[in-house]
Amino acid sequence: MNEQNDRKLNRRRFLARAAKAGLSIAAAGIIAKTLYDKQGPSAQPPSELVTIPDFSVPAMPGRTISIVKGRDRVKTIDKAIDLLGGIERFVKPDDTVVIKPNVAFTSVPALGATTNPELVAEVIRLCYSRAQAKQVYVTDNPINNPSSCFTISRIGKAATSAGAKVILPRVSFFKLTTLEGGKYIENWPVLYQPLAKADKLIGIAPVKSHSRAAASMSMKNFYGLLGGRRNIFHQDINTIIAELVMLIKPTLVILDGTETMVTNGPTGGSFSDLKRTDTIIASCDAVAADSFGCSLLGLKPADLPYLAKAQSAGAGTADYQSLKPIIANVT
Amino acid sequence: MKIVTVRRISQIFFFTLFVWFCIVTTYGGKFWQLRNWPANLFLNLDPLVALGTILTTHSLYSPLLWALLTVILTIIFGRFFCSWLCPFGSIHHFFGYLGSRNKTAAQKIKLNKYRKAQSIKYFILIVLLIMAAFPSLAATLQTGLLDPIPLVTRSFNLILLPIADGSVNILSVTQRFYETTFFIFAFFLAAVLLNFVIPRFYCRFICPLGALLGIISRFSIWRIGKNTKTCSNCKSCEQHCEGACDPSANIKIAECVLCFNCRDDCKTKDNVIRYQAKPSLAGEVTNPDISRRGFVLSLASGFLAVPAVRLAGKIKANWPHNLIRPPGSLAEPEFLKRCIKCGQCMRICPTNVLQPAGLDAGLEALWTPVLNNRIGSSGCQLNCIACSQICPTATIRPITLDEKLGKGSFADKGPLKLGTAFIDRNRCLPWAFGKPCIVCEENCPLSPKAIFTREYFSTVRDGFLTVKKVVGNTIETVEKNLTLDKFATGDYYCSLDGSQKGKIVTNTNNAITISKEVKFAKFPAEGSTIHIQVRLQRPYVDIERCIGCGVCEHECPVSGKKAIRVSAESESRSADRKLLL
Amino acid sequence: MAQTRRKTPRHESVISLFLLAVLFIIGLSVVIPQFNLRTSRTVVSAGAAKTLDSLLDSIVLRRTPDGAAGFEPLSEIAVYNAENLYEKIDGKAPFYVDSGFEKLLTNWLKSQQDDQLMFEFYVYDMAEPANAFSVFSVQKRPDASPLALFETNFGYRTENALLFVQGKYYIELIGSAKSEPLFNAMTEFAKQLSAALPDQRQFSMPEPLIAAGDNLIPGSIKFYTGNALGFDGFDNTFTAVYKIDSSNVTIFLSDRPDESSAEQLVRDYCKFLIDTGAEEKSADIDIDKARMLDFYGTIELVFNNGPVVAGIHEADDIETAVKVARLLNDILKPDTEK
C-alpha cells in the first residue's frame, strides 16, 4: 500500500517536473525565435530608424481617381490631373517635389519597361510652371546600374531638360526604417535622403505584366525606394507590395496604360509585348489605380492578392468604382 | 560497455576536436587551415555566450542558435556539458585525477565533499549577467573573462599553440607573439594548478557557465540518485565525484556534472546509484545553494560594477586614441557589448597584428582585439577580411571585401578606415635627422598612395666647405676631414652659392666629384663656399586617403617609438571621431 | 580490498553504445563536409566564362552587307549566375533558374554612326539543349515571324527582336528601334554567333511530333521542363498546335518512365481538373482508358499510349477533340500494330 502511494507520489512529482522541463524548453525556444538575428549588426547603430513622411493631400470625394483615354500621353496626363483638381491641388508654391518614375532597367523607352520620359517631363513642367514648385527631384533605386538606367531610359535627360535634378542612389542616402505592422520591412534600408526634404511625392509607373506578381503597376513602383538585398522579398511578393503602400503614402500616382506590356513582363524585350490601350490613370489611391489598371492586362482585381492585402491593411481600396472615378476621352 | 567509458571517450573526442579547431583557425585553404571547418562550434554551443549577448544586444546572432541545443539537452538530461563536452572541464578533470591519484580513499572522499563556497560561482554569474543586462549603452559584456569556453579558447590560441608551434613552425611561418599573454597564461595556469588543491576547483567554485547550467538543470527528467535503501553508506561513490554534489546523501542536482563516477565506484551488487527519473531515495536538492543575502549582494555588486568599471574615464572626450580596432568593428559601446574575448580573430589574423588589449584601454576592454602595428608581419593586409568572418558574436561585422575597399555598391562610402597615420616630425629620419628614407611611402598599399613626399634640400652638419681648386668636375676643398665616399650614396648634392646644385658622385677626404651630367653655369671661385646638401623626400600623409592600415608604421625603420603612427581619428566605425567634414 | 566487479547491466551497455554512435556521427558530420569543398559558390569557373566572353567579343560588325556602319560594344560583357540573375532581369529570373539556368552573358552593341541605333544581346547558358529549347519555346511571342537563318522551330523574329536557340544556349537580340539596318546588323551578329558557338547540337523533337509534320503550325512546338498546362505533374512535356479542318487545337504529349506511371499521370491530371471544377464526360472514343472532361466550356481529352501520356487541351468541341486524339493515338502506335 505504502509502495503504491510512494509510486503515485513519485509519478506525480515526475509529471510535474516533466511539465516544468517542457515549459522551460518552450520558453527557451520562444526567446531564441523572437530574438533571432540572421544578418548581425549593421554598421550604423540601430537607433537611427527613420519614418517616411506622409505625402498625401486631403481627400476630395469624387476627385480621387480619374481615367482618361487618349493617344497623346502629354494631353492625356494633363487632362487626367486637371480632372482631379489640377496640379495646383497637389503641389503648392515653393514645394519641393520628388518624382518617382520606374527607371529600373537599362531599357529604351520604346520597349515600355520603364516610365515614358515624356510623362516625367510633363509632370515636372506642370510642377514648375503651374504650381510654382521650388524644386523638383527625380529619383529611383534601379535594379541595373543607376546611371546607365537613367541614361538609356532617357529619363535622366528628360528630367534635367525640364529643370529637375536627378538624384542617383548612394549608400549614404539609405536609412533604416521599420514599418509598424509590417512583416518584412523591419530595420530595412530605404532611399530616404530625397524624401527627407520633400513636400510632395508623385509616382509615375507603366502598366506591365509581371511573371512573379502578375502585374507591376503603381504600387510595385515603390519597390524602387527599397535598398539592401531587396530581391529576397520576391519570395512573398504579395505581402511586400502591400507593405510598400503601407509604408509610402504618395501625393499622387500616375499609371501609364498608353502602351501596356501584356506579355513577358517586367522586362519585355519585343515591341510585340506591348498593346496599345491608350489609357492613363491619375489617382490619390494607388490601390484603386492598380485595381483598374489590371483590366488593361486582361486581369481582374481578384487575380492580384496584394490588392486585397493592402485594402485590409487600410492602405487603399481595391474597389475603384466606389471612389466614383472620373472618366474622359481626349482626342 | 560502461557509461563512464563512453564519458571518457566523449571527453577525449571533444577535447581533440577543440584542439583541432584551434589549430585550423589559421588563414588558408589547406586541410589543416580554416576552409569551412566549424571552428567556432564550442563557442556557438556555449549558452553563456548566447545569454550574455541576448542581454546586451536584445538579439540572438544566428550562429549562436546552437546554444539552444545545449540548453534543451541540459533541461532534459542535466549538466552533461561539464563532464562530457567542455574542454576546460576535461583539463580540470585530468589534472584533478593526477592530483588525487595517490591519495587514500578517505582523503579522496574528503576532497570531494560539498563545500558551501561552491555557491560563489552563482554570485559570479549573477554579477556578470547584471552587468550585461544594464540598461542601454552602459551594458557591458564581461562574461568572456570567466566563461570557460572563451577562456580556454584564448589560452590555447594565444599561448599554448604559439608555444607548441614555436619550434616547428608548421602553423605559422614565424613565431606568433601576443602581448599581455603572461596574465592570460597566469590565469590559465592558476586555474589548472588549483586542481591539485581541490579537484575541478574552477568548475566547482568559479565557473559561471557551470552555474548557469546548474540553474537550468533544475527540471531535468533523469538525475543521479539512490535507488534502494540498502546502501551501506560506505561513501565509495564520493571517491571520484567530480561535481562534489554529495551523491550519498542529499544530492545537490545543480552541482552534479553527470560524470557517473559514483555509479562506477559503487561497490554494492544492488546497483544503488542510478540515473533515474525519480528523486534520490536519500533526498535531493534542486536549487542552487544561494542565500537571499548573497543573492541581493551579488545583484548590487553587478549594478555597481558597471559604473565603477566605466569610471576609468575612457568614454566621450577621453577616448583612447591608440586603440585601433579591427576592420568591420562596431563602435566602441556596441563593441564592448559583444566581444567575448575569445581570441579567434587574433588567431586567424594572418599578419599577427591583432593583439589582446591590456588595461590601458580600460578594464572593460581587457583582452579585446586591438591592432599593434609594431608586432607581426605587416599592419592590416589590404585584401584580408579574415577576422570579420570568424568573429562568433559579430563584434567585428562580417564585411565583404567590397565594403572594406570601398568598391562596388560601397563606392560612395569609401574604404573602411581604422584610423589615420600621423607622422612624428621629431622622429622621422628625413624630417628631424636629415637622413633620406621613404620606406613608409613605398609600402603604402593604396593606389594612389596615402603618403606622398616633397623634395627638400638640407645642408649637412659640417657641410660648409671652402673651395681650394676646381679640376674638371672635381672640387678640392680646403678642409681635409671628409669621410671617404660618405656623400657617394646619390643623395648628396653640392650647392654653389645656394642656387645651382650638382649631384655628388664620389668624394675623398678633401675632394668632391660632381656628376658629369651637371654643367655649372659659373664655376666656384677659389675661396668661395660650397654647401653639401642632402636631398630629402619628406613624407606627408594625405588624410583623405589614409585608411590607417598600419603598414607604414610597421615598416618605419625607427623601431622604438615609430616615426609614423596610426591613431584612431577618422575611424569609420565612430561617427564622432572624424578629422574631416 | 577486493572490489566486487558488478556486471554492467544491459541497458547501460545499450545506452553507452548508442551515445558512442552519436559521437561518431558528430565526428563524421564535422569531417565529411571538408571533402565537398566547393572553392567558389558564385561564378562558374573563370575558364569557361572567358572562352564564351572572348567569342562574343570577337564577333566583329564592321560593315554590314548593305553598307550600314559598324557596331561596337558599349562596355564590358556582364556575366550573371543563378544567384544574381535577378539583378538583370528581375521577375523573370526564377523562370530561368527553375529551368536549369547556369550563366548569362550580355552587352550592348551601339552603331558607330547613329547613336539611337543599338541592340542588346543576351546569351543564356541553360546547361542542356532541352532547357534552352524550353525557355525559348515557352516565351515565344505571338507575333513571331520566321527567319531565313533558322528553322522555324529554333528561331524567329519580331519587329525589333531576333531570338533563337542553339545547343544549350538561348539567345535574344533586342533592338532599340524598328529599323531594318539595325535588324540587318543583328542578323549578321546572330549568324556569326550561331556558327561560332561551341555547342552545335540541335535539340531533337520527339518522333510523334516529327510524324505529325505539316499538320502542326510551324514553330508552335513548346517544351516545358515543368508545370505545362498549369499542372505540376506535367514536367518534360511538349505542346503544339494541330491544324484540323479549318481550326486549331492544342495537343500535348509527355514521355514517362513506364506504362504504369503514365496511367497514374492521366489519373492525376484528371483529378486536378475535377478538383478545379471540371466535369467528366464519357469518352466516346476507342482509346483504352481515355478520359474526357469539360472544363468550363472547353474539352480536355487525355489518354496514355504505353509510356506516353498524350491529349488534347482546350478544344472547342467534342468532335474535334476526338478526331485529333484518334490521329494522335495512331501516330503514337508502334509500326507493327498499325
> Is residue C309 within 8 Å of residue C262, measured between CB atoms?
yes
Beta-bridge partner residues of B422: B565
DSSP 3-state of C14 = helix
**Residue A270 to residue C161, Cβ atoms within 8 A:** yes
B164-212 pLDDT tens trace: 887 777 666 566 777 778 888 898 999 999 999 999 999 999 999 999 9
Q: Where are the alpha helices (DSSP H) in C62-114?
A: 86-89, 93-98
Q: Which residues contact residue B249 at a Cβ distance below 8 angstroms, ignoring those fewer than 6 apart?
A: B282, B283
Minimal Cα–Cα distance from A199 to chain C, Å?
Answer: 31
Phi/psi for A306 (5° steps) reads -70, -20
What is the least distance, in Å, from the CA of C22 to any CA of chain B?
10
* Cα–Cα distance for residue pair B540/B552, rounded to 1 Å: 12
Kindly identify which residue of chain B lies nearest to residue A29, measuring between CA atoms. Answer: B68
A41–B75 C-beta distance less than 8 A: no
Q: Looking at residue B314, what is its pLDDT? A: 59
How does DSSP classify residue B245? Answer: -
Over the Cα atoms of chain B, what is R_g?
33
Per the CB < 8 Å rule, is B410 touching A10?
A: no
Coil, helix or strand at residue A27 = helix
Write down the pLDDT at residue C64: 44
How high is the ipTM of this complex? 0.81
For residue A18, the chain B residues in CB contact (below 8 A) are 219, 221
Give the mean model confidence (pLDDT) for residues C305-327: 89
- pLDDT at residue C59 in the model: 65
Contact call for C91 and A211, based on CB within 8 A:
yes
- Which of A108, A110, A210 lies closest to C91 in CB terms? A210
- Residue A271 with chain C: CB contacts under 8 Å: 158-161, 178
Provide the CA C183 distance to its chain's centre, in angstroms.
27
Q: How many CB pairs under 8 A join A and C?
A: 66
pLDDT score, position C338 = 41
- A193: its cell numbers: 535622403
Strands A96-101 and C298-305 turn out to be unpaired
Which chains neighbour C (Cβ–Cβ under 8 Å, 3 or more pairs)? A, B
Q: What is the interface size between A and B, counted as CB pairs within 8 Å?
A: 77
Provide φ and ψ at B331, rounded to 5°.
Answer: -60, 155
Note whether A143 contacts C176, CB cutoff 8 Å: no
Of the ranges B219-228, C169-178, C325-334, the best mean pLDDT one: C169-178
Mind giving me the DSSP string for A243-267? HHHHH-B-SEEEEEEEEEE-SSTTT
Do A211 and C108 lie within an 8 Å CB cutoff? no
Those residues of chain B that have pLDDT short of 70 are 29, 136-137, 170-175, 269-270, 309-317, 498, 521, 576, 580-581
Cell triple for residue C97?
A: 533558374
Task: Look at B36 and C34 and tell me if their CB atoms are within 8 Å.
Answer: yes
pLDDT in tens, A93-131: 999 999 999 999 988 999 999 999 999 999 999 999 999
Within 4-23 of A, beta carbons closer than 8 Å to B belong to 10, 13-14, 17-18, 20-21
A110 with C177: Cβ contact below 8 A = yes
Pick the closest to residue A273 from A258, A263, A285, A283 (CA basis).
Answer: A263
Which residues, in sequence order, are CB contacts of B372 under 8 Å at separation 6+?
Answer: B179, B353, B355
Judge whether residue C48 has pLDDT over 60.
no
Query: CA neighbours within 13 Å on the CB side: how many for B286?
Result: 16
For residue B3, what are the contacts with CB-CB under 8 A and spacing of at least 6?
Answer: B260, B263, B264, B275, C12, C15, C16, C19
Residue A97 and residue A133 in contact, taking contact as beta carbons nearer than 8 Å: yes
Predicted confidence at residue C61, as pLDDT, reads: 57
Helix (H/G/I), strand (E/B), else coil: B476: strand
- As a whole number, the mean pLDDT across chain C is 82
Nearest to A264 among C108, C139, C159 (CB): C139
pLDDT band for C65, please (50, 70, 90 cuts). Answer: very low
Q: Which cell numbers hold the place of A107?
A: 531599357
Tell me how far CA of residue B53 lies from CA of B158, B216, C144, in angstroms.
23, 18, 61
Rounded Cα distance, A268 and A297, in Å: 14
Asked if A25 lies within 8 A of B76 by C-beta distance, the reply is yes
Nearest chain B Cα to C19, which residue?
A: B6
Query: What was the pLDDT predicted at C19?
Result: 93
Percent of chain A with pLDDT over 90: 70
pLDDT at C151: 82
**Smallest Cα distance from A144 to chain B, Å:** 12
Q: Is B144 left (phi over 0), alpha (psi -120 to 50) or beta?
A: alpha
On whether any CB of chain B is under 8 Å from the CB of A29, the answer is yes
Residue of B84, B240, B267, B275 best to disrupt the C interface, most CBs of C under 10 A:
B267
pLDDT in the model for residue A114: 94
Q: Measure in Å the smallest separation between the Cα of A111 and chain B Cα atoms.
A: 28
Contact A143 C86 (CB under 8 A): yes
Contacts of B1 in chain C (CB under 8 A): 8, 12-13, 16-17, 20
Minimal C-alpha gap between B197 and chain A (Å): 36
Question: Could A41 and B334 be called an inter-chain contact, meaning their C-beta atoms sit closer than 8 Å?
Answer: yes
Are B413 and A171 within 8 A, CB to CB?
Answer: yes
Return the sign of the alpha-carbon dihedral for residues A54, A60, A65, A68.
negative
Q: Is the pLDDT of residue A28 over 90?
A: yes
> Which residue type, as a one-letter code, is found at position B492?
Y
Residue C44: band (very low, low, confident or very high) from pLDDT cuts 50, 70, 90: very low
Residue C100 near residue C126, CB atoms below 8 Å: yes
Contact C176 A265 (CB under 8 A): no
How many angstroms away from the CA of A7 is the closest CA of chain B? Answer: 9
Closest C-alpha among C217, C309, C221 to residue C262: C309
Name the residue among B22, B19, B11, B140 with its Cα closest to residue B81: B11
| Cβ-Cβ contacts under 8 Å, B68 against chain A | 28-29, 32
Query: Is the CB of residue B3 less than 8 Å away from at least one CB of chain C?
Result: yes
Claim: this prediction has a pTM higher than 0.80 = no
**Chains near A (3 or more Cβ pairs under 8 Å):** B, C
Q: What's the mean per-residue pLDDT of chain A?
A: 91
Residue C323 CA to residue B79 CA, distance in Å, equals: 77
Q: Is A118 helix (H, G, I), strand (E, B) or coil?
A: helix
Read off φ and ψ for residue A22, nearest 5 degrees.
-60, -45
Q: What is the radius of gyration, based on Cα positions, of chain A?
A: 25
Q: Is the dihedral of CA B312, B317, B321, B325 positive or negative?
A: positive
Grid coordinates in use for C95?
523562370
pLDDT tens figures, A226-242: 987 787 788 888 999 99
Taking contacts as CB-CB distances below 8 angstroms, the residues of chain C near B41 are 30
The shortest C-alpha distance from B429 to chain A (Å) reads: 39
Minimum Cα–Cα distance from C108: chain A residue? A106
| Residue B269 near chain C (CB below 8 Å) | yes
Determine the Cα angle at C321 with ends C320 and C325, to 5°.
115
**Helix extents (H) in chain C:** 10-31, 46-58, 86-89, 93-98, 129-138, 180-196, 207-212, 259-275, 318-332
